[in-house]
Amino acid sequence: MARMTMVEAIRDAHDVAMARDDRVIVFGEDVGYFGGVFRCTAGLQKKYGKSRCFDTPISESGIVGTAIGMAAYGLRPCVEMQFADYMYPAYDQIVSEAARLRYRSAGEFTCPIVVRMPTGGGIFGGQTHSQSPEALFTHVAGLKTVVPSNPRDAKGLLLAAIDDPDPVIFLEPKRLYNGQFDGHYDKPIVSWKKSELSEVDEGYAPIPLGRAKLRREGRDVTILAYGTMVHVALAAVADSGIDGEVIDLRTLMPLDIDMITASVRKTGRCVVVHEATLTSGFGAELVALVQQECFWHLEAPVARVAGWDTPYPHAQEWHYFPGPPRIAKALQAVMEA
């Protein structure tokens, strides 16, 4: 058991996966010699050689397209998009190809690839370094979508993603890479090492996809969150004094609907939180499912707290970000409904 930042945990997952399976290949823009602009692959090229960890031309479509070919060959590519905001040129390869290879060929060809990408705001990255495009993946049959919220999960889920026989989109909240963040952006940054969640299992210890994690038990209201927003939700619960039950979804597809349902049936109230724009965000799906599964238990409409329906602005970052006050307000409203 070692304490790691999220970056270290992701690096460690790569290392463990590459050591135990020759088929694991890691590449992307600035991923090789330099080790990635967020340093998530630092040291891998040195350790495993240029054939297994290398730099690519700046072509997201080329990165995912070649990864698909490699997967069809029998390798297990784990590739990086430098920012989620830059995955769009690869979207066709992800949606039309990776996601449907097994289906359209009835299993003749499969696509065990992982596409990692940093998501979310909080670094004053403006509209092209802040996006959270998870809903663009959850709508696509054939993809799995994972969002870890801490170093421990990041390592275990990434190991599982690399092992997975199907394409996995692995979204890494960049605001959490190097420290804890609960949405109180004006407070000093807290090191990961101070959190138990940075205690990462050594060696090969995958965490199965598809299982949510209860982060806080509570009786008043269920809060569904993932990634950075798990911590922000916990802060909002603390700030508001409302006894919220916080579920960290961890995997959006497949979704742990059982844990969600059980919790909402218990609390009778639900707030869904994400950083992506509200309209047609993944929160909409969560609301739809919750009201379907828990209708007769609901004592208030399910509320959503999300990014506004605008591009992610630069200077107004913290007005855009759905921080603890906005969540707390929603909790209040749901309690009073």
Partner 1 sequence: MPDTQKLSFHVPDPGLRPGDTPDFSHVKIPQAGSVRRPEIDESPAEMRDLAFSIIRVLNRNGQAVGPWAGSLDTERLIEGLRHMMTLRIFDARMMTAQRQGKTSFYMQHLGEEAVSCAFRLALEPGDMNFPTYRQAGLLIASGYPMTQMMNQIYSNEADPLRGRQLPILYASQEHGFFTVSGNLATQFVQAVGWAMASAISGDSRIAAGWIGDGSTAENDFHAGMVFASTYRAPVVLNIVNNQWAISTFQGIAVGEAGTLAARGHGFGIPALRVDGNDYLAVHAVAKWAVARARRNLGPTVIEYVTYRAGGHSTSDDPAAYRPKEESAAWPLGDPILRLKTHLIEIGAWSEERHVQAEAQIRDEVIAAQKAAESIGTMHSGRQPSPREMFEDVYAEMPAHLIRQRHEVGY
CA pair distance 91, 101, nearest whole angstrom: 15
Is residue 184 involved in binding a copy of itself (CB under 8 A)? no
Question: Is 123 a residue that touches ligand TPP (CB under 6 A)?
Answer: no
- Which residue from 337, 311, 167, 321 is spatially nearest to 231, judged by alpha carbons? 321
Tell me if 136 contacts a copy of itself by CB under 8 A: yes
Position among 54, 91, 109, 185 found at the interface with a copy of itself (CB under 8 A): 91
Nearer to a copy of itself, 103 or 318 (CB): 103
Q: Give which of 206, 231, 194, 227 is closest to 216, Cα–Cα.
A: 231
| Residue 3 near which of ligand TPP, a copy of itself, partner 1, none (CB within 5-8 Å, type-dependent) | none
37 φ/ψ sector (left φ>0, alpha ψ -120 to 50, else beta):
alpha
* Residue 207: how many other CB atoms lie within 10 Å: 21
Backbone torsions φ then ψ of 235, nearest 5 degrees: -65, -40
Q: How far is the CB of 274 from a copy of itself (least distance, A)?
A: 12
For residues 44 to 73, the per-residue mask of contacts with ligand TPP, x marking binding by CB under 6 A and - elsewhere, is --------------x---------------
The least CB distance from residue 195 to ligand TPP, in Å, is 30
Contact 122, 313 (CB under 8 A): no
How many residues bind to ligand TPP according to rule CB under 6 A?
Answer: 5
Beta-bridge partner residues of 78 = 26, 114
What letters, b where the CB count within 10 A reaches 16 and e where it falls short, cover 272-309?
bbbbbbeeebbbbbbbebbeebbeeebeeebbbbbbee
Identify whether 139 is a catalytic site residue.
Answer: no
Find the binder of a copy of itself among 39, 54, 62, 100 (CB under 8 A): 100
> Is residue 284 close enough to count as binding a copy of itself by CB under 8 A?
yes
- Strand 303-307's sheet: what is its strand order? 213-216, 244-248, 221-225, 270-277, 303-307
Q: For residue 311, state whether it binds a copy of itself (rule: CB under 8 A).
A: yes
Q: Is residue 29 a contact residue for ligand TPP (CB under 6 A)? A: yes
Q: How far is the CB of 85 from ligand TPP (least distance, A)?
A: 8
- DSSP structural state of residue 10: H
User: Of residues 71-90, which lie at the interface with ligand TPP (CB under 6 A)?
Assistant: 82, 86, 89
CB 164 within 8 A of CB 144: yes
Residue of closest CB approach to ligand TPP: 86
Binding residues vs a copy of itself (CB under 8 A): 85, 88-89, 91-92, 95-96, 99-100, 103-104, 127-128, 135-136, 138-142, 253, 276-277, 279-285, 287-288, 291-292, 295, 298, 300-304, 309-311, 337
Which residues are identified as catalytic?
129
